[in-house]
Structure formats: structure tokens, C-alpha cells
Amino acid sequence: MTIYDYSVKAMNGEMKALRDYTGKVLLIVNTATKCAYTPQYEGLQDLYEKYRDDGFEILDFPCDQFAHQSPGSDDEIHAFCRIKYGITFSQFSKINVNGRKEEPLYKYLKSEKKGAIKWNFTKFLVDSEGKVINRFAPADTPEKIEYFVKEALEAKALHEKINKNYSY
């Protein structure tokens, strides 16, 4: 299995197939709007703007499971992120990342890299083949993980070059 086998609920309530992101490097993040780590939205947006043209996407999943730090509706969360941080990357409907109502995507992510989510802004890096290649703690800022994003994008570019040169 890969992340491409999952669909998730978009902010507008419609289901979004993750296979639509095939060939992209993804950073999947559970977020909160009233957390000490919320200012990471600024760094995430910067990272997105810097690498989106290279095939990089950020998938933002608001989560209210940790100290009720993401109150409000999906629309309120999206408006907050857009107005305060200028977010233009993909945001999805609020989810649970742990427990009996956890989002199936997160069950998969956790099975690939280190168990339960302990707090907001846990990040998973997924390569262009849909495989989880790294997990970062909430305190790992976007600036700190940029190196790993660049490495994944370089691997993606090399893979594409090889496929182009050897396709018949």
C-alpha cells in the first residue's frame, strides 16, 4: 500500500483521492490554530512557495485532539490560515489522528513511521512514489526539514530523468 490508496475529506466536504498527488513529494502535517507551533504555518507556506514548481505539495490536516487547540469549523480554520499566514497549500477537513475515530490515512502513516501522534505539527515526508520516507517531530521547523524536502525532490527529478532516458 501507499498513500495513493486513500481518499480524504477536503475543506469543501468533497472526497479527494490522494492518487491525484501521484508523482509529487508530499509533506503531510496535522495542525492546530491555537498551538505554540502555529507560527510554523509561515515556514510551511515559505517552503511550499519555494518548491511547489518542483513537484512539492503540503497537505494540512487540522486536528483538535491535543488540548482543544484547533477549535472552530473547517471554514473558520481555513479563513484564519489564509488571512494570518497567507496559506495557499491544500487544507483538508478537521480529523482525528489517534484513537477509534482516527483518519485511516493517519493509521497508515503511523504504521510506516513510529506509532502514535503525540502533538500538533507532526510531519510526514512522502516521496514521489507514495512511500513515507521520514517523520518529523512538532518542534522540527519547516526550515530544519527543508534539506530533506530538497533531497526527496532531487531523487524525484533523477527518477524522472532515468525514466525519460530509458523509455521506449
Q: How far is CA 140 from CA 1, 19, 74, 147, in A?
A: 27, 27, 25, 12
Q: How far is CA 128 from CA 57, 58, 67, 160, in A?
A: 10, 13, 34, 10
- Spatial neighbors of 17 by CB under 8 A, at least 6 apart, are 4, 6, 7
Q: Does residue 81 carry a catalytic annotation? A: no
In this structure, are strands 123-126 and 132-136 parallel, antiparallel, or unpaired?
A: antiparallel
Query: Per the structure block, which three cell numbers stand in for 164?
Result: 525519460
Q: Listing from the earlier edge strand, what are the strands of the sheet with 132-136? A: 90-91, 56-62, 25-31, 123-126, 132-136
Pick the catalytic residue: 11, 25, 35, 81? 35
Q: Which residues are catalytic?
A: 35
